[in-house]
Structure 1
Amino acid sequence: MRTIVITGGTDGIGRGLALRRLAEGERVVVLGSDPAKGARLLQEAVRLGAGERAGFVQADLGSVARSRAVAAELAAAHPAVDALVLGAYRYNPARVRTAEGFEQTFALYVLSRHLLAEGLRGSLERAAGTPVILSLCGVGGIKAGTIRWDDLQREREPYRAGRVTMQGARANDLLGVSFAERHAGGRTRYVLYNPGFVATGMTQSLRRPMRGLTKAAAALFAQPVDRAVGPIAALLDRPPAGPLSAFFRGRPVGLDRPEFDRANAARLHAALLSLLGEPALE
């Protein structure tokens, strides 16, 4: 029985993937910030006959301390993890600063993914099959998003949610490049995946009139969660042979694009270590 850990697993794609894997007989541990949503997911697991294989960990991954603690707790509870799906994301229409002093989107979307991938790497390496990290919402080669190297948390300019989100997506691409480069001798594969426009609950955090416009667009153009989950599940079952791969809606994206520049990946890794107060020893 495989063990799958999914961040952001109480909504949208994460929830759809969790329920699919539970229905297929796997053990799933979901991380989410809302205990009510976690309880509903566990109730659904019971209805599927999978209650004993479902776990929920309440965690605000916008907190660096909590991300570190959760990674350690999961590693202790699960010596072997077959797949880590990084899907936690929250759209913030206005700037939010965490208690630790980080811009919240950056903390949740970038820092937590770095901390969980590194914190669970030992468990992943001990998986019986081919372990995989799959990061959702990386732009996967799409020409959008700019990293402000001199201002990673965008503190020196007016807050623009779209720009902050796209910078996080670009950084997530580089996180994958960095992981694959630094752990090239390991067994864990890293997959960057952009599902495209999917009908999820993200519109609830938007302001009017953007909320209504986005809902209307989703009704016309967005693919349903069940359809979006299929290619992701397939990649977890059969990850590509290389240490790093990227996909947009199931289609491969070439890694020779400038968005996957190795020097920039190393630069981002060094910047994250500095922000997190970690030694540059990897």
Structure 2
Amino acid sequence: MSAAGRRTVVITGASDGIGAAAARTRVAAGDRVLIVGRSPGKTAAVAAETGAEAFVADFARFEDVRRVASEIAARVESIDVLANNAGGVFGDREPTVDGHERTFQVNHLSPFLLTELLHEQLVAGGASVVNTSSVAAVRFGAIDTTDLENSRGFTATRAYGDSKLANILHVRGLHHRYGGRGISAVAFHPGMVGTSFAAGSKSWFRLVYRTPLRRLFLISAAQGGTTLDHFIAGRPGVDWQSGAYYDERTLVAQPHPQVRDDELVEELWRRSAAMVGLPG
């Protein structure tokens, strides 16, 4: 952090929704904000509106993730916060150009890869890594390291729940591996936010998000962005605990039996590293 207190914050999935909302808040607070989005037009529009610096990457392509990591690393020497917020719910099981199931790659493997590629900058900044997870991790997630990409019995809901559980296990792995190097990590559920993230899904999420009554039980992107910003702006060890999962701002001590399985956390890390082409 600079002497003036201006932090460098990277937010993915920031072309709209809660990522864009948090970007607006952080720029207004005086931070240097770098936003990453899949849509060039939408990402440029948020950057023009806020003064954030725009980067474009499709997380369904590792090539894009590697390129954007290189672009960010060339721009900044240190990062104070990396918010891994990009993700979504998708339809049928389909492989990406990298050969992985799309939900698992976009929601877990690509954020994992980006975090590792920016490791030097994160250590330099004594950074916080904030993973946007979901209550779906608790309700539908069940990691099977022999079938991480759900080749058996695939459903969009199960794939999403597994990927969001992987986000929490990733945070546990970051805390164990890099806590001694000054990196803190947290995962959180932002609430049921009324955005378009499930528009292309065949899961029950699509029904919930398209019902005419959705405003009765969905919160706005601005409200969800406030929760994301709580963790971006918060101080690890004071405002939130590193290695933990929160349902909105409430600490969940036992979110899922697999979260406390240290061997599973390590095995998922090793397999994820192999899948993205990094040393384990």
TM-score relative to the length of structure 1: 0.87
Q: In structure 2, how many angstroms separate the alpha carbons of the residues matched to 1:9 and 1:81?
A: 17
Q: In structure 1, how many angstroms separate the alpha carbons of the residues matched to 2:273 and 2:157?
A: 25
The CA deviation string for residues 206-235 of structure 1, in whole angstroms up to 9 with x for no partner, is 469974653335311011222222233222
The CA deviation string for residues 144-203 of structure 1, in whole angstroms up to 9 with x for no partner, is 31112211111233x311110001011111111111111131111101111121111224
Is structure 2 residue 148 aligned with structure 1 residue 152?
A: yes
Task: Say if 2:18 and 2:225, in contact at 8 Å, map to a contact too.
Answer: yes
The CA deviation string for residues 23-73 of structure 1, in whole angstroms up to 9 with x for no partner, is 22221111111111112212322xxxxx3xx11111111112221232232
Distance 1:208 1:169, change over 3 A: closer
Q: In structure 2, how many angstroms separate the alpha carbons of the residues matched to 1:43 and 1:69?
A: 22
Task: Tell me the equivalent position of 1:230.
Answer: 226
Task: Tell me the equivalent position of 1:263.
Answer: 263
Task: Tell me the equivalent position of 2:158.
Answer: 163
Q: CA deviation at 1:257?
A: 5.4
Q: CA deviation at 1:22?
A: 1.4
| Among 24, 27, 30, the residue aligned to 2:29 | 24
Task: Say if 2:128 and 2:236, in contact at 8 Å, map to a contact too.
Answer: no
Q: CA deviation at 1:10?
A: 0.7
Matched position secondary structure for 1:174: helix
Matched position secondary structure for 1:201: coil
Q: Gaps spanning 5+ residues in structure 1: where?
A: 46-50
Task: Say if 1:84 and 1:133, in contact at 8 Å, map to a contact too.
Answer: yes
Give every structure 1 segment of 4 or more consecutive aligned residues whose post-TM-superposition deviation is greater than 6 Å: none
Q: In structure 1, how many angstroms separate the alpha carbons of the residues matched to 2:214 and 2:70?
A: 38
Distance 1:171 1:240, change over 3 A: same
Is structure 2 residue 90 aligned with structure 1 residue 92?
A: yes
Q: How does 1:178-189 map to 2 (within 5 A)?
A: 178-189=173-184
TM-score relative to the length of structure 2: 0.88
Which moves more between the two structures, 2-11 or 116-125?
116-125
Q: Give the letter aligned to residue 250 of structure 2.
A: R
Task: Tell me the equivalent position of 1:48.
Answer: none
Distance 1:252 1:94, change over 3 A: same
Q: Give the letter aligned to residue 43 of structure 1.
A: A
Task: Tell me the equivalent position of 2:190.
Answer: 195
Task: Say if 1:193 and 1:247, in contact at 8 Å, map to a contact too.
Answer: yes
Matched position secondary structure for 1:156: coil
Matched position secondary structure for 1:155: coil
Distance 1:176 1:134, change over 3 A: same
Task: Say if 2:60 and 2:110, in contact at 8 Å, map to a contact too.
Answer: yes
Task: Tell me the equivalent position of 2:217.
Answer: 221
Task: Say if 1:199 and 1:219, in contact at 8 Å, map to a contact too.
Answer: yes
Task: Tell me the equivalent position of 1:41.
Answer: 46
Task: Tell me the equivalent position of 2:279.
Answer: 279
Task: Tell me the equivalent position of 1:5.
Answer: 10
Task: Say if 2:133 and 2:165, in contact at 8 Å, map to a contact too.
Answer: no
Identity %: 28
Which moves more between the two structures, 92-101 or 140-149?
140-149
Q: In structure 2, how many angstroms separate the alpha carbons of the residues matched to 1:266 and 1:139?
A: 22
Q: Give the letter aligned to residue 115 of structure 1.
A: L
Task: Say if 1:194 and 1:247, in contact at 8 Å, map to a contact too.
Answer: yes
Distance 1:162 1:180, change over 3 A: same
Matched position secondary structure for 1:182: helix
Matched position secondary structure for 2:140: coil
Task: Tell me the equivalent position of 2:80.
Answer: 82
Task: Say if 2:83 and 2:130, in contact at 8 Å, map to a contact too.
Answer: yes
Distance 1:140 1:160, change over 3 A: closer
